């Protein structure tokens, strides 16, 4: 597969319309950005990046610059092994990696190549063509690699106009997204026609794309199944284990609003039979941590608080410590799966640590993966089922997931297509 989309008659009016919307939306975008800053979801020093004002100079050497975009933490973690290998194989290559969130940016900043200048992070600008035009003119990428479902009209239409090679890896189209797009299937087809190469995450996703008439597609491969285990500080794990004593640690990871109350109620039911149980809540969005701590009268990690003997809940609102608490955990629940609409998060992250893992009924973004690992995941439909699972004292350790070849396939694809357009 490998197509080179032309700038079709539909493309010009769509880009013009989106440009007008983008200009008209600027006052709202500024207010929206200020609100996000007040909520702790933006960094004041990096606000110019949202409006395509670069936060650092472009590399001065003659090597090519590849643009890779990942929405947030999970997407960044799944593409970073690919980034690492591309940098190792191509000594003159620089990779510009954009994310939509600060937490995704911190994941990129922790990568060793960020300290050598070969991996640059910027927050992605808003999807207004005049901002993206400025961004592309400054960074001059030779190609763009997108992940999952980052289908932004301005970005894709402008890339198509500029004949910028675009690749979509781990492409997914959930049932909910497919239902939303059904009313505008010509628009979805048009946007995806800007992608020269599309690698679906699973066969289910490939079939969903095919139902919209999108193709040809590359063989499905899931980069998240190829991701390494989450890192953790081994010395901190020893320190915390000493502080917590022999308590049994239950981790509810990546929770969303509406779930914490159910999880804590279930854990308190189980605690009647398991008085040593400590429930660790890790909200998907850390800025919710202080509110959760206040609501549930629980110690908060960002304040340096450690639970005492009378505490049965601990709120973890720090960044980059999920792996640490999976290492300490006796068992794990994967959030965004207990209340609708949900969708779930990656259960492989806890399975890498061989921790018994429960999931709720709303894991529709991970249907194929959950089916492949059904023997290692315990479904819980509601509070009572979760409480019963927490009461069980002896649960078998799941087998660690086996890595697949998705990363190698993606690396080979990028090297054989985008990177061969330029001599290094």
Catalytic residues: 75
Other Cβ atoms within 10 Å of 40 Cβ, number? 14
**Residue 311 near residue 298, CB atoms below 8 Å:** yes
Interaxial angle between packed helices 26-38 and 11-24, expressed in degrees from 0 to 180 and rounded to the nearest 10: 60
Residues 41-69 as b or e (16 or more Cβ within 10 Å = b): ebeeeebebbbbebeeeebeeeebbbbbb
Question: Which residue has 């289910």 as its token pair?
Answer: 204
- Single out the residue of 133, 127, 99 nearest to residue 25, CA to CA: 127
Other Cβ atoms within 10 Å of 216 Cβ, number? 10
Strands laid side by side in the 248-255 sheet = 313-315, 277-283, 248-255, 331-334, 357-359, 377-379
* DSSP per-residue letters across 54-122: -SSPPP-SSS-EEEEEE-SHHHHHHHHHHHHHHHHH-TT-EEEEEESSHHHHHHHHTSGGGGTTSEEEE
Query: What torsion do the CA atoms of 35, 39, 42, 43 make, to the nearest 10 degrees?
Result: 110
**Residue 47 near residue 34, CB atoms below 8 Å:** no
Q: Which residues pair with 98 in a beta bridge?
A: 69, 122
Cis preceding-peptide flag for 343 (omega within 30 of 0) = no
Integer-rounded Cα Rg, in Å, for the chain is 22
At 357 the three-state DSSP class reads strand
DSSP H helices, 112-250, are: 129-139, 153-161, 175-181, 185-192, 203-211, 234-244
The Cα–Cα gap between 236 and 266 comes to: 28
């Amino acid at each position: 597969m490998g197509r080179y989309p032309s700038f079709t008659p539909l493309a010009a009016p769509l880009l013009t319309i989106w440009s007008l919307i983008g200009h008209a939306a600027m006052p709202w975008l500024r207010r929206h950005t200020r609100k996000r800053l007040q909520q702790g979801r933006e960094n004041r020093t990096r606000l110019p990046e949202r409006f395509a004002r670069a936060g650092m100079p472009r590399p001065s050497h003659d090597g090519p610059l590849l643009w890779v975009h990942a929405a947030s933490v999970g997407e960044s973690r799944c593409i970073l092994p690919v980034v690492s290998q591309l940098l190792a194989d191509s000594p003159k290559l620089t990779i510009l990696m954009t994310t939509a969130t600060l937490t995704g940016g911190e994941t990129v900043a922790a990568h060793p190549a960020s300290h050598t200048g070969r991996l640059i992070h910027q927050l992605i600008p808003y999807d207004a063509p005049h901002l993206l035009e400025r961004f592309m003119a400054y960074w001059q990428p030779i190609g763009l690699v997108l992940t999952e479902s980052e289908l932004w009209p301005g970005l894709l239409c402008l890339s198509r106009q500029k004949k910028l090679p675009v690749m979509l890896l781990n492409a997914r189209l959930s049932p909910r997204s497919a239902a939303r797009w059904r009313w505008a299937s010509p628009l979805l087809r048009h946007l995806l026609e800007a992608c020269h190469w599309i690698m679906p995450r699973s066969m289910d996703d490939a079939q969903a794309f095919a139902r919209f008439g999108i193709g040809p597609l590359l063989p499905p491969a899931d980069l998240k199944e190829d991701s390494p285990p989450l890192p953790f500080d081994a010395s901190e794990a020893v320190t915390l284990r000493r502080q917590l004593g022999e308590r049994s640690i239950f981790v509810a990871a990546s929770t969303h609003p509406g779930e914490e109350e159910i999880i804590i109620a279930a854990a308190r039911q189980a605690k009647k039979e398991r008085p040593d149980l400590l429930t660790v809540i890790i909200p998907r969005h850390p800025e919710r941590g202080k509110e959760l701590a206040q609501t549930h009268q629980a110690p908060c990690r960002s304040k340096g608080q450690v639970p005492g003997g009378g505490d049965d809940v601990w709120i973890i609102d720090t960044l980059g410590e999920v792996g640490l608490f999976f290492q300490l955990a006796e068992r794990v629940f994967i959030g965004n799966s207990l209340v609708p609409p949900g969708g779930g998060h990656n259960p492989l992250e806890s399975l890498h640590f061989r921790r018994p893992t429960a999931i709720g009924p709303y894991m529709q973004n991970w249907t194929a993966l959950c089916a492949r690992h059904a023997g290692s995941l315990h479904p819980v439909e509601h509070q009572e089922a979760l409480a019963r699972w927490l009461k069980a004292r002896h649960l078998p350790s799941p087998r660690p997931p086996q890595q697949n070849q998705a990363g190698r396939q993606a690396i080979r694809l990028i090297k054989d297509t985008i990177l061969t357009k330029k001599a290094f």
